[in-house]
Amino acid sequence: MTTEATQEISWATPLTFDLQHPWVRRVIAWRGINGHPPAAVLTRFVDNTYSPENVERVIELGLIGGGMPELDVEALLDGHVRGKPIIPNLTIATAVLASLFAEAA
């Protein structure tokens, strides 16, 4: 599925992040991102009041929405997100989450 909100970002390897995928939209609608609405998480990213778990979850949902199998997502998170410097991943998570709102604009 390709939408205006699909992001292709070179990170580890060129990957597609998509929070517009129907499964991801349902997860966000039902559970939010770690229990918080996407707008609140984006505000935390911008205000530097985020948690590493929020950064990880946005990247995880974006990768799954982009078509990556969950086992591959876990391996990528282990190799490039968990326990790694947060700022590069925050930049990616912010861009991916902002794309969710760009579609609505």
Looking at the domain assignment, is residue 2 inside a domain? no
* 3 state DSSP class of 21: coil
20 in any annotated domain: yes
Q: Residue 1 pLDDT more than 50?
A: no
Is residue 14 assigned to a domain? yes
Interatomic CA distance for residues 73 and 82, integer angstroms? 12
Residue 40 falls within a domain, yes or no? yes
pLDDT the model gives residue 36: 95
In a domain, 38, yes or no: yes
Q: Is the pLDDT confidence value at 45 over 90?
A: yes
Give the pLDDT confidence score for residue 85 in this predicted structure.
Answer: 94
Average pLDDT, rounded, for the chain: 86
Tens digits of residue pLDDT in 27-37: 888 888 999 99
**What percentage of the chain reaches a pLDDT higher than 70?**
84
- Is residue 53 in a domain? yes
DSSP letter for each residue of 26-89 = HHHHHHTBTTB-HHHHHHHHHHT---HHHHHHHHHHHHHHTT--HHHHHHHHHHHTTTS-HHHH
How many domains are contained in the chain?
1
Report yes or no on 54 lying in a domain: yes
